[in-house]
């Protein structure tokens, strides 16, 4: 756990910093004086949240990104998605059949 950044501006505040007031005022003051400290667990959660937001942004128009060229990137994304879904389906069916065989003592 390492300090992330120490900000010395109090005139301007961003929404996330202000939201910390709803968590704990002592935390707000500590972060102002000592910088942001994150436990490993919190750091993982932050990275996970960033990934979720990237996906949320990608899905804003149903996965079609107007800013980028639609064809190549979108096609690749579709292929990967279809392959992943079918692979998951095969795995689940295989596991389920194995379980069914074991249940029936075959």
Partner 1 sequence: MGFETAALARIVGFVAALWRKMWSSPLAKATESLPQELGGARLIYAERLFRSQSPVVITARVDRVYRNAKGKLVLVELKTREANRTYWSDVIELSAQRFALSGQTGEAMADYAYILTERPDGCPTGSHRVRLMAPADLIALAMRRQKLLAGKHEPERADFRGVCRKCAFVQLCNLP
- Does residue 69 bind partner 1 (CB under 8 A)? no
CB-based contacts of 39, cutoff 8 Å, min separation 6 = 1
Residue whose entry in the numeric block shows the structure tokens 């998951």? 88
Least distance from partner 1 to the Cβ atom of residue 24, Å = 4
79 binds partner 1 (CB under 8 A): no
Footprint on residues 38-67 left by partner 1 (CB under 8 A): 38-39, 41-42, 45, 48-49, 52-53, 55-57, 59-64
90 touches partner 1 by CB under 8 A: no
- DSSP secondary structure string for all residues of 72-93: HHHHHHHHHHHHHHHHHHHHHH
Cα 1 to its chain centre, rounded Å, is 20
The CA distance from 86 to 82, in Å, is 6
- Binding site residues, partner 1, CB under 8 A: 1, 10-32, 34, 37-39, 41-42, 45, 48-49, 52-53, 55-57, 59-64, 81-82, 85, 89, 92-93, 96-97, 100, 104
């Amino acid at each position: 756990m390492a300090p992330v950044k120490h900000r010395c501006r109090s005139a301007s505040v961003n929404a996330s910093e202000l939201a910390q007031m709803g968590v704990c005022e002592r935390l707000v003051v500590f972060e102002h004086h000592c910088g942001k400290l994150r436990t490993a667990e919190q750091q993982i959660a932050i990275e996970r949240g960033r990934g979720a937001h990237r996906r949320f942004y990608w899905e804003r128009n149903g996965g079609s990104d107007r800013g980028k060229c639609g064809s190549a990137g979108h096609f690749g994304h579709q292929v990967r998605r279809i392959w992943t879904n079918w692979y998951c389906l095969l795995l689940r069916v295989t596991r389920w059949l194995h379980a069914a065989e074991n249940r029936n003592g075959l």
